[in-house]
Structure 1
Amino acid sequence: MQFSSFTFWPLIVLLGLCLGSFLNVVITRLPVMLMRQWRQEARAQLALEEETPPRFNLAQPRSMCPRCETPLRWHDNLPLIGWLKRHGRCAHCNGRISVQYPLIELAGGVLAISVALLYGPDWQALWVYAACLTLLALAAIDWRLQLLPDILTLPLLWAGLLYHWLFQPAFLGDAVIGAVLGYMSLWSVYWLFKLATGKEGMGFGDFKLLAALGAWLGWLALPLVLLFSAGLAAILGLAYQASTPQARGTPMPFGPFLALAGWIMLLAGDEALAVYLSIAS
């Protein structure tokens, strides 16, 4: 993969913004697609008549205003530019368009630049960037709906093992152990908490996400991932509940904090792990 310095960075930024725009489609539509699928499966189990809803997938229908459902013009779909040009409002009904859209697009661009700076124009960079985008989609979906879909977490896990098999075969054993320990650690916490309180403290998607991070990062990185994610969740959770008293007792998704810790370790894991091991020793 060879690029001149003149074309490399504009291409990276453009690619990141466009993939961030596509990620918005995944974040908003994938949960609806899954809900429809689960509904159809439930109706089939109950021997109810099959429903035939309008076609709905990642490609159809066209992008539209979430309020008035007016299809967006092509220039309103341009990453960042479309939202900023309309000041975050629909051109037809003047309803507000969520700030999620430009933020995800911007995050896609920032992640692209970060991965390119660390890995350069290399095939490994594409794998790591795909993992970062998957974590971004999982974080956004879990934040909105407290849902970590298997259709994203399981491919992320297998992709981590395949990445090491292709590029770092000497690390594959650590990755396999990381996947197993990642799942079992949160699974154990889940059952200890449930036996002690009779309540569910987290969902099974969290186990699978930490297993995927273990596959990418190896078992040695798991304590740092848990330290980062639990610390961030505690700090932000306490701050949110202190500023919003009516939110006290409301469940808070853990997936976004696991994803954030995963980004830190994917992009700066060697340095963080070296500091951690030096302190631990």
Structure 2
Amino acid sequence: MAILWLEKTMLLILIFFLGASLGSFGQLVVERGPAADVVFTPSHCATCLWPLTWADLIPIISYGHHHGRCRHCQQPIAVASTLREWLGGLSACWLVNFAGDYQLADFIALGGLFVCALADWTNHYVYQRTLLICSVLLLVTPFPTGGPHWFAALALIGGLVLIARLTQGLGSADIFWLGLIFFYRGSVFGLGALFIANLLILTYYPWREQTADRQIPFLPYLFVATLITPQLFGQSQRWVLLWQSFWSLP
């Protein structure tokens, strides 16, 4: 039993750092832009342009070892950079632990939403090319069980477009991903994810710095909400069934 627990722990640690590495790479893609070379161009400090070695690129560990500063120029590195790595690592562990609750289209959609969430978090906008790539990948992917929910998606998109024109509080990427969630998962799941995302925003808002940008990126919260909604939705269904079975007892 102890050996199995140790093996599972080591596997989760490996998956965590793999997800953190993907989060770090996604952040690099977002910072350099879709047209930049992210494979052959060496990583470097954004301040002094000093090339980074492999010891500087270990997710989370390098940040803590160098006390959140560049090893060469000692300029502080934004805490958000390591938070994105944590988000990638924890998301990877979550997906592996609950892999049975997701289908292929879910994994592709979550991967695309994660990249868009990083872009929204960093730049407050998402490149249209990124949304186009996500759309093409989903078009060639088998549709998940349940069939498309055309009415829910069209009704939501129509309402969000109207809200966006009146308030200018929603971007095209926000509408795209919300419409996609409603189209693939239906209105019940979509409303649950939307409720959780807004609840996370309201929880975070009182703690944000007063000098921070007034804009709040929505997609990072939507990504976390979409990630955890299948489990919360399943648990709520179990509680409803349990409640119904309790009252049906003679």
TM norm structure 1 = 0.68
Q: Distance in 2 between matches of 1:218 and 1:111?
A: 23
Residue in structure 2 matched with residue 49 of structure 1 by the alignment:
none
Residue in structure 1 matched with residue 162 of structure 2 by the alignment:
191
Counterpart secondary structure, 1:62:
coil
Displacement of 1:82 in angstroms is 1.6
Q: Which runs of 5+ in 1 are unaligned?
A: 38-55
Whether contact under 8 Å (1:112, 1:129) holds in the other structure is: no
Whether contact under 8 Å (1:16, 1:105) holds in the other structure is: no
Aligned residues: 240
Counterpart secondary structure, 2:189:
helix
Residue in structure 1 matched with residue 217 of structure 2 by the alignment:
253
Task: Find 1:181's aligned residue among 142, 147, 152.
Answer: 152
Whether contact under 8 Å (1:161, 1:216) holds in the other structure is: no
Q: Distance in 2 between matches of 1:202 and 1:88?
A: 33
Higher relative helix content? 1
Counterpart secondary structure, 2:38:
coil
Residue in structure 1 matched with residue 71 of structure 2 by the alignment:
91
Residue in structure 1 matched with residue 235 of structure 2 by the alignment:
271
Displacement of 1:73 in angstroms is 1.0
Task: Find 1:148's aligned residue among 126, 130, 135.
Answer: 126
1:62 aligns with 2:42: yes
Whether contact under 8 Å (1:157, 1:213) holds in the other structure is: no
Displacement of 1:183 in angstroms is 5.8
Whether contact under 8 Å (1:157, 1:212) holds in the other structure is: no
Residue in structure 2 matched with residue 77 of structure 1 by the alignment:
57
Structure-2 change in CA distance of 1:83 and 1:268 (3 Å) = same
Task: Find 1:200's aligned residue among 168, 177, 200.
Answer: 168
Q: Distance in 1 between matches of 2:242 and 2:172?
A: 33
Whether contact under 8 Å (2:15, 2:93) holds in the other structure is: no
Structure-2 change in CA distance of 1:138 and 1:74 (3 Å) = same
The residue type paired with residue 195 of structure 2 is: L
Q: Distance in 1 between matches of 2:169 and 2:241?
A: 30
Q: Distance in 2 between matches of 1:149 and 1:275?
A: 41
Displacement of 1:94 in angstroms is 0.8
CA offsets 1:87-106 (integer angstroms, 9 cap, x no match): 11111111112223332222
Whether contact under 8 Å (2:19, 2:92) holds in the other structure is: no
Residue in structure 1 matched with residue 188 of structure 2 by the alignment:
220
Q: Distance in 1 between matches of 2:160 and 2:229?
A: 22
Structure-2 change in CA distance of 1:267 and 1:59 (3 Å) = farther
Residue in structure 2 matched with residue 51 of structure 1 by the alignment:
none
Task: Find 1:116's aligned residue among 79, 96, 117.
Answer: 96
Taking only the aligned residue pairs, the percentage that are identical comes to 21
Structure-2 change in CA distance of 1:110 and 1:277 (3 Å) = same
Structure-2 change in CA distance of 1:87 and 1:118 (3 Å) = same
Structure-2 change in CA distance of 1:111 and 1:193 (3 Å) = closer
Of 127-136 and 104-113, the range deviating more from structure 2: 127-136
Q: Distance in 2 between matches of 1:266 and 1:84?
A: 33
The residue type paired with residue 204 of structure 2 is: L
Structure-2 change in CA distance of 1:262 and 1:117 (3 Å) = same
Q: Which runs of 5+ in 2 are unaligned?
A: 244-250
Considering only aligned residues, what root-mean-square deviation do their CA atoms show, in Å? 3.6
The residue type paired with residue 63 of structure 2 is: W
Q: Distance in 2 between matches of 1:192 and 1:80?
A: 39
